[in-house]
Copies of this chain bind each other. A is one copy, B any other.
Amino acid sequence: MNGPLHRVVIIGGGFAGLYAAKTLGRSRAGVTVVDKRNFHLFQPLLYQVATGGLSPGDIAAPLRAALRRQRNTEVVLGEVTDLDITNRRVLLSGGAALPYDSLILATGAQHSYFDHPEWEAKAPGLKTIEDATEIRRRILYAFEAAERSTSTAERQEWLTFLIIGAGPTGVELAGAIGEIANKTLREEFRRIRPEEAHIILLDATSRVLPGYPEDLSRKAERSLIRLGVRTRSGVRVTAINDTGVTIHAAHSEEHITARTIFWAAGVQASSLGRILANHTSVPLDRSGRVMVSPDLTIPGHPEIFVAGDLAHLEHDGKPVPGVAPAAMQMGRYAARAILARLDGSPAPAPFRYLDKGSLAVIGRAAAVADFGAVHISGYLAWLAWLFIHLMYIVGFQNRILVFIQWGFHYLTFHRGARLITGGK
């Protein structure tokens, strides 16, 4: 049989979009992947770029290269400005329109500074390659400025690093800065001792890694302390300015002076969720995520799927977490649902996130892993983390390059990509 070509447009080339496209690779459908960047980014390792352990190219794979073999798939570098739901078209900046029969929205999330967008310049977050090289610049520059400084007070300000938010990103960033100060930079300076840096990890909840079981939180905190990181839980940030951060904890206010501040505290969904809600009746959650049906479509529009961090779905009252494995599973699910329709097979059972576990790394040979019934930490958790990340990173060459750089790092704490570029 040869009906008219079924056109699937996928917006976003992250984990959800890429895995959806790959699942549709050998189908009869025509697939178009739209992204404003030309590469798929392996976000779980972005903090390693921010801390000079890996180069941007090591954790990015050009989308065209990743999908080159799929003759039914094309990649469009472009920005989506609007959706024309009635006529089933995606509108791109520059005026082009892409018609679709099925649509998968997978544009993910970005930082949220809640009601304080002005904090972004003082406390950058970590979502893009540019964020990562900017954070890298600020970390390395702080040590340089401290070395050059002639005032003890100013030197101390340059050697103080504040990380706001003790989820996995904040913990990984704080741990890596601790390792840089205590190991990587050892003996490289003549006037300062990098190991005297103050690295402070703040969180509004009562412990680090609040999404993990309590025993692993405690272990993570112990590993952080060994790397010179002090954690302050139960504190709320009320102001960020040029001199540092004002925090509020148990009826008292305090100002922490620091020149280098990073934000790992909150995310909000991409603005495409708002565009979709404007054209349909689908509700958004507080972070702007689209409240999808159990089959990842939206009410009244079985042709529109939402996957990855842009989607809000609950199992037994708990939301599916905004992590890479969930995005991959959602992307694959949406693609399979489309394939089932094309084949006339029955629709798959409602989407169910299969939680294979969570991992966070704190430094060399230190990590925590929550595999549900089994909690592990230390060397074994770190090995599991290493293996899983190498397995999922896109591109054979990237896998080799990352492996080698981790090997060097393991042996020498060496961080090769320590470049201060761009910036002021």
Q: Please determine whether A416 and B404 come into contact, CB atoms closer than 8 angstroms.
A: no
Q: CA separation between A37 and B414, bound complex, in Å?
A: 19
A299 within 8 A of B: no
Measured between beta carbons, the chain B residues less than 8 angstroms from A185 are 64
Q: Please determine whether B420 and A187 come into contact, CB atoms closer than 8 angstroms.
A: no
Q: Which residue of B lies closest to A92 (CB)?
A: B148
Q: CA separation between A289 and B56, bound complex, in Å?
A: 36
Measured between beta carbons, the chain B residues less than 8 angstroms from A65 are 188, 414, 418
Give chain B nearest CB distance to A159 CB in angstroms: 15
Q: Which residue of B lies closest to A184 (CB)?
A: B65
A421 within 8 A of B: yes
Q: CA separation between A207 and B144, bound complex, in Å?
A: 46
Provided the pairs A57-B419, A187-B68, A422-B130 are in contact, do residues A144 and B401 lie with their beta carbons within 8 angstroms? no
Q: Please determine whether A419 and B68 come into contact, CB atoms closer than 8 angstroms.
A: no
* Stretch from A13-21, A73-81, A110-118, A241-249 that touches the partner: A73-81
Q: Which residue of B lies closest to A150 (CB)?
A: B96
Measured between beta carbons, the chain B residues less than 8 angstroms from A405 are 397, 401
Q: Please determine whether A188 and B68 come into contact, CB atoms closer than 8 angstroms.
A: yes
Give chain B nearest CB distance to A123 CB in angstroms: 21
Q: CA separation between A395 and B408, bound complex, in Å?
A: 12
A390 within 8 A of B: no
Give chain B nearest CB distance to A389 CB in angstroms: 17
Q: Which residue of B lies closest to A96 (CB)?
A: B148
Q: Please determine whether A60 and B419 come into contact, CB atoms closer than 8 angstroms.
A: yes
Give chain B nearest CB distance to A403 CB in angstroms: 10
Number of interface residues of A (CB under 8 A): 50
A410 within 8 A of B: no
Q: Which residue of B lies closest to A422 (CB)?
A: B130
A residues 94-121 near B (Cβ < 8 Å) are 94, 96
Give chain B nearest CB distance to A63 CB in angstroms: 9
Measured between beta carbons, the chain B residues less than 8 angstroms from A38 are 140, 144, 418-420
Give chain B nearest CB distance to A151 CB in angstroms: 12
A376 within 8 A of B: no
Of the candidates A57, A150, A189, A419, the one having the most CB atoms from chain B within 10 angstroms of its own CB is: A57
Provided the pairs A56-B55, A68-B188, A405-B397 are in contact, do residues A419 and B148 lie with their beta carbons within 8 angstroms? no
User: CB-CB contacts of A24-52 with B at 8 A, as 1s and 0s?
Assistant: 00000000000001110000000000001
Q: CA separation between A140 and B405, bound complex, in Å?
A: 27
A residues 365-424 near B (Cβ < 8 Å) are 395, 397-398, 400-401, 404-405, 408, 414, 416-422
Q: CA separation between A76 and B421, bound complex, in Å?
A: 16
Q: Please determine whether B64 and A129 come into contact, CB atoms closer than 8 angstroms.
A: no
Q: Please determine whether A77 and B39 come into contact, CB atoms closer than 8 angstroms.
A: no
A315 within 8 A of B: no
A283 within 8 A of B: no
User: CB-CB contacts of A344-371 with B at 8 A, as 1s and 0s?
Assistant: 0000000000000000000000000000
Q: Other CB < 8 Å A-B pairs besides A56-B56, A96-B148, 12 of them?
A: A37-B420, A38-B140, A38-B419, A55-B58, A56-B419, A68-B187, A74-B191, A77-B148, A397-B405, A397-B408, A401-B401, A401-B416
Which A positions have Cβ atoms within 8 angstroms of B?
Answer: 37-39, 52, 55-58, 60, 62, 64-65, 68, 74-78, 94, 96, 129-130, 140-141, 144, 147-148, 150, 185, 187-191, 395, 397-398, 400-401, 404-405, 408, 414, 416-422
14 contacts between A and B (CB under 8 A): A37-B420, A38-B140, A62-B418, A62-B419, A64-B188, A65-B418, A96-B148, A130-B422, A397-B404, A397-B405, A397-B414, A401-B404, A401-B405, A401-B416
